[in-house]
Amino acid sequence: MVKGLKVLVTGGAGFIASNLILRLKAEGASVRASLHEKPLQISADGIETIHADLRDLEACREAVAGVDYVFHCAANTSGAAVMATTPLVHVTPNVVMNAHLLEAAYEADVKKFVFISSGAAYPPTADRPVAEEEMFDADPVDVYYPVAWMKRYAEILCRTYATKINSPMSTLVIRPSNIYGPYDKFDFATSHVTAALIRRVVERHNPLEVWGTGEDVRDLIYVSDFLDGLMLAVEKCDFFDEMNICSGGGITIKGILQTALEVDGYDDADIRFDPEKPSTIPVRLMDGSRAKERLGFEAKINLAEGFGRTIEWYRELQ
């Protein structure tokens, strides 16, 4: 589907982008990766890199020049602690970057613009999986409020460019659940819960501290499964669409930790939960029905297999 196309992947040093670049190269695309403060994590032949601060419109214009598709993976992101203490760091840089990149892509006659949104932008639905059409039914939960509305505004911009103007640009909004796998962020200051737990298991922390009560529920999807869904959506969705890419199931933080312990053979861990530490939302489940019906997508990699792959990759870095 992308063979022979010129593709820009923003945030080329990041988790999703690193895996996506490898997938696009394997499928025959010509890949340009934008970098800002960090270098590429991956090593592959023929990747064009461009250093660009995408908060600057001219830098965005340079980045999109001559490309057919844009996969916008760049974002200023962090974990629960940063969201709890300094939530505004997610707002202005991302709003400016998203708006400028869309404007530059439209000016450059990009054929398709793919925006990686977030399941965190949804309103709370208790223990019921949330579907795509519910995004704007109510406010997001307070802890996600700034970053969620930043993502929502970018989605509105995507819809605007695809459906509200003359000579529209095709845009696609992808809302992933909690992705994990190789090239994730394992720095405790910025990592999400799955990567942080995997690191603590591999490094044999004793005691092994877990933020929160361990009862929070998340939908986890291995990165190769996520990319399968993403690429199917890019192939089959035109002009404008929104798509959850998720596993469609839920597991507690305790369950995530227990799986990691079993996979890596850490049998005598002294586990200590700290309910005083920041957490986010008790339950976040996502409805994968649209992706299954329209794309024929279902996640294939179970948690034990995905953790095994991730742990093997992480341990090789040490």
Domains of the chain, residue spans: 6-179+222-247+286-300
Mean pLDDT over all residues of the chain?
94
How high is the pLDDT of residue 82?
Answer: 59
How high is the pLDDT of residue 90?
Answer: 77
Tell me what the mean pLDDT of segment 262-280 comes to: 90
Using one digit for the tens of pLDDT, what is the confidence trace for 223-261?
999 999 999 999 999 899 999 999 999 999 999 999 999
| Residue 84 scores a pLDDT above 80 | no
CA distance 145 to 26: 38
Please, which pLDDT band fits residue 166 given cuts at 50, 70 and 90? very high
| Residue 85 scores a pLDDT above 90 | no
How high is the pLDDT of residue 269?
Answer: 95
Tell me what the mean pLDDT of segment 160-172 comes to: 97
How high is the pLDDT of residue 188?
Answer: 86
Using one digit for the tens of pLDDT, what is the confidence trace for 175-194?
999 999 999 999 987 888 99
Cis peptide upstream of residue 207 (ω within 30 degrees of 0): yes
Using one digit for the tens of pLDDT, what is the confidence trace for 24-57?
999 999 999 999 989 999 988 899 999 999 999 9
Please, which pLDDT band fits residue 276 given cuts at 50, 70 and 90? confident
Q: Which pTM value belongs to this model?
A: 0.95
| Residue 79 scores a pLDDT above 60 | no
Structure tokens at 60: 């965005």
Q: Are 7 and 67 in contact (CB under 8 A)?
A: yes
Please, which pLDDT band fits residue 318 given cuts at 50, 70 and 90? confident
Using one digit for the tens of pLDDT, what is the confidence trace for 292-312?
999 999 999 999 999 999 999
Tell me what the mean pLDDT of segment 71-90 comes to: 74
| Residue 280 scores a pLDDT above 80 | no
Q: Are 300 and 225 in contact (CB under 8 A)?
A: yes
How high is the pLDDT of residue 132?
Answer: 98
| Residue 58 scores a pLDDT above 80 | yes
How high is the pLDDT of residue 162?
Answer: 98
CA distance 165 to 163: 6
CATH-assigned architecture of domain 6-179+222-247+286-300? 3-Layer(aba) Sandwich (3.40)
Instruction: Name the packing angle between helices 253-264 and 193-202 (round to 10°).
Output: 30
